[in-house]
Amino acid sequence: MKKVCRGNFDKADLEILLNPETKEERKLILQTAREIKEKYFSKKFFLYGFVNISTICKNNCSFCFYRKKNTKSIRYRKSKEEILKASKHLVREGVNLIDLTLGEDPYYDENFEELVDIVSSVSELDVPVMISPGVRDKSEIERLRDAGATWFALYQETHTSELYDRLRLNQSFKEREEARENAADVDMLVEDGILLGVGENKRDIANSILAMKNEPLAQVRCMPFVTHEGIPLQKQELAGDYALITALLRITNPRKLVPASLDIEGLKGIKGPIEAGANVITSIIPSNFNLAGVAQSEYGIENEERSPKNVRSFLRKRNLEHATTEELFNFCGSTEILF
Ligand code: SF4
């Protein structure tokens, strides 16, 4: 563990930590991660509002509810007015960032300037904007940045190319990596992430943790896979649980942002990663806007479990704090972010 905390580690060291022999060993890893989080971010959490602007996608990722071939999936493409209305509501309710997510919707290939215009309007709301537009070329990424997007999110899911080919069918491993590099090159803050329970082993996870450590990222995450109706992939045994891998991401990325996602099991699902060094709560979705999640398309949305108010109350009950948007802007401008 000391080697990993010092940043001087290899895959074999990570594999050992992915396999704690006793409950005490696991507890120590989580506690170390929590202490690192508190050292750099105190008891504060950034809250991310999530607006899924299009569930239409040309791809067929084997793990995804919104894959093109899934006839059971919810499909919509929100108008700019609908997106702005939901975003304004989230900002009024105190979220620190708006995360605009979409499938690789062919409409926006043809009408890319409309996406740029949406980003431009949302970025006038005085919170950082994250965009997850799928693989885009460098000039398109620059257009999104110029429109006001601070963050570019694009998950590799795994950094083992053979497993990647089974998950992101007919999509280039390299182009996905390059899109993140291009975003970092044009000074956007970049997020990568991995999926758990999709056929990976401990070596694959160690490989991903090391790869993400070496990428120019500002936010790193892991997410357990959720089984969906109508898709080919079935949940497989986890090679490491959500909290443990979150802890290892925190330990190996002390100053970066590490999310806990409401998209898995709502508030219940974020308890583990919060105890393991996460400092962001993502996938806050308002009710009454007919918005869908990603891993969980409906869970916790219309009953307000994922509302900003409910998340703030969850933090208060645990003596945790909601960070200010100014603190997030300061973080986004910090030069220490990549270390
Ligand atoms: S993961 Fe993204 S790119 Fe893949 S099918 Fe789903 S929405 Fe499309």
For residue 332, the CA-to-ligand 1 centroid distance in Å is 27
3-state secondary structure 39-101: HHHCCEEEEEEEEEEECCCCCCCCCCCCCCCCCCCCCCECCHHHHHHHHHHHHHCCCCEEEEE
134 lines ligand 1 (CB under 6 A): yes
pLDDT tens for each residue of 221-268:
999 999 989 999 988 888 789 999 999 999 999 999 999 999 989 999
Output 237 or 170, whichever has higher pLDDT: 170
Q: Residue 309 in 3-state DSSP?
A: helix
Task: Lowest mean pLDDT of 1-5, 174-178, 200-204, 263-267, name the range.
Answer: 1-5
For residue 144, the CA-to-ligand 1 centroid distance in Å is 20
pLDDT tens for each residue of 147-165:
999 999 999 999 999 999 9
104 lines ligand 1 (CB under 6 A): yes
Ligand 1 atom, smallest distance to 64 CA: 6
Give the pLDDT band of residue 292 (cuts 50, 70, 90): confident
| Domain-wise residue ranges, the chain | 2-332
Contact 146, 136 (CB under 8 A): no
Q: Known binder of ligand: residue 312?
A: no
Most confident residue range from 8-22, 34-48, 289-303: 34-48
For residue 9, the CA-to-ligand 1 centroid distance in Å is 33
For residue 3, the CA-to-ligand 1 centroid distance in Å is 37
Q: With 90 as the cut, is the pLDDT of residue 5 above it?
A: no
Percent of the chain exceeding pLDDT 90 equals 85
Q: Known binder of ligand: residue 283?
A: yes
285 lines ligand 1 (CB under 6 A): no
Contact 315, 322 (CB under 8 A): yes
d(CA 255, CA 257): 7
Q: With 90 as the cut, is the pLDDT of residue 123 above it?
A: yes
d(CA 97, CA 328): 8
248 lines ligand 1 (CB under 6 A): no
Give the pLDDT band of residue 336 (cuts 50, 70, 90): low
Nearest C-alpha to atom 5 of ligand 1 is from which residue? Answer: 67
The mean pLDDT value for 98-105 works out to 97
One-letter identity of residue 260: A
Q: Known binder of ligand: residue 255?
A: no
* CATH assignment of 2-332, among 3.20.20.70, 3.30.70.890, 3.40.50.2300, 3.40.50.720: 3.20.20.70
Percent of the chain exceeding pLDDT 70 equals 99
- Angle of helix 308-317 versus helix 266-274 axis, rounded to 10: 40
Q: With 70 as the cut, is the pLDDT of residue 337 above it?
A: no
Q: With 80 as the cut, is the pLDDT of residue 323 above it?
A: yes
Output 108 or 238, whichever has higher pLDDT: 108
Residue 180, token pair as written in the block = 């993140």
Q: Known binder of ligand: residue 332?
A: no
Contact 48, 280 (CB under 8 A): yes
Task: Lowest mean pLDDT of 37-51, 130-144, 288-302, 314-328, name the range.
Answer: 288-302
Vertex 235 angle, CA 180 and 47, to 5° = 50
The mean pLDDT value for 164-181 works out to 98
The preferred substitution site among 60, 73, 104, 155 for testing ligand 1, maximizing ligand atoms within 8 Å of CB, is 104
Dihedral, 237, 238, 241, 244 alpha carbons, nearest 10: 140
Ligand 1 atom, smallest distance to 134 CA: 3
The pTM assigned to this predicted structure is 0.96
Considering only CA atoms, which of 135, 141, 86, 73 is closest in space to residue 306?
86
Nearest C-alpha to atom 7 of ligand 1 is from which residue? Answer: 103
For residue 103, the CA-to-ligand 1 centroid distance in Å is 5
d(CA 11, CA 78): 43
d(CA 10, CA 12): 6
Q: Residue 301 in 3-state DSSP?
A: coil
44-54 vs 280-284, strand pairing mode: parallel
Residue 16, token pair as written in the block = 């050992």
Give pLDDT, residue 295: 77
Give pLDDT, residue 12: 92
Q: With 70 as the cut, is the pLDDT of residue 34 above it?
A: yes
pLDDT tens for each residue of 61-89:
999 999 999 999 999 999 999 999 999 99
Give the pLDDT band of residue 338 (cuts 50, 70, 90): low
Give pLDDT, residue 293: 83
